[in-house]
Amino acid sequence: RFVNVNDGDCTGDGSSGCMGRYPSALGTDDYPYAFWNEYTTPAGPGYGGRGYYTYDEFGWGGESFVDPEDADLTWNSNKDHWVGSPTVTHDGSDYVFNVVYQDWTRNNYWLFHSEAYDDGFIVFGQESTVFDEENCLIDGYNSAAHLSMNDDGQGVIGTIGWFAGADNENNTSTNEHTPIFRLTDDHGANWSDTGEAGSCGYYYVPN
């Protein structure tokens, strides 16, 4: 058990608003990692979901986790990232990280792909939309997304959801609540857009 990974007061006013939620753990050969998001109660429109990660700078069993780092280097109070799902793979020369969040205020699902890795420290790139909830799905009827990937760079990102236009009251549409997913073959740098779900290009499990 490690204390002070997150300080419980990132608002700076003594309140208990900055609480860590939805933790995930993974590791490389050299370092253990923890990912989570915090409920920061900002002045913005949502809940202030903010994604963080940390790692043990002295490796496995080093008992010295670094101060939390932002997964989104351009995070602001208009963003609301929750329920992150991270992965790590090795492309033959270096480690590659991806983490996806569901935004509870702006909707949509946002992926962060690592652009650089240096002795444990990860530099994530700009957010990119991997599921367009506003235009392709029915808001409020979709699960958090999950990532899975192997060291050959083949991966899948999925959610359980409803496509826009589905009959979410009577469950009689040909597009019922179903697994929806996209594929990658380059460690998450790019994701498929040639699936069967209309103009959105997502794959899904048919009825």
Quote the pLDDT of residue 46: 83
Q: What is the mean pLDDT of residues 149-178?
A: 79
Please determine, for residue 3, whether its predicted confidence score (pLDDT) is greater than 60.
no
pLDDT digits (tens, 9 = 90+) for 45-77: 788 899 999 999 999 999 999 999 999 999 998
Please determine, for residue 175, whether its predicted confidence score (pLDDT) is greater than 80.
no
Q: What is the mean pLDDT of residues 187-191?
A: 97
Please name which of 172, 144, 167, 161 lies closest in space to residue 203, comparing C-alpha atoms.
Answer: 161
pLDDT digits (tens, 9 = 90+) for 20-30: 889 999 999 99
pLDDT digits (tens, 9 = 90+) for 104-129: 998 899 999 999 999 999 999 999 99
Residue 132, token pair as written in the block? 């367009």
The DSSP annotation for 127-145 comes to -EEEE-HHHHB-TTS-PPP
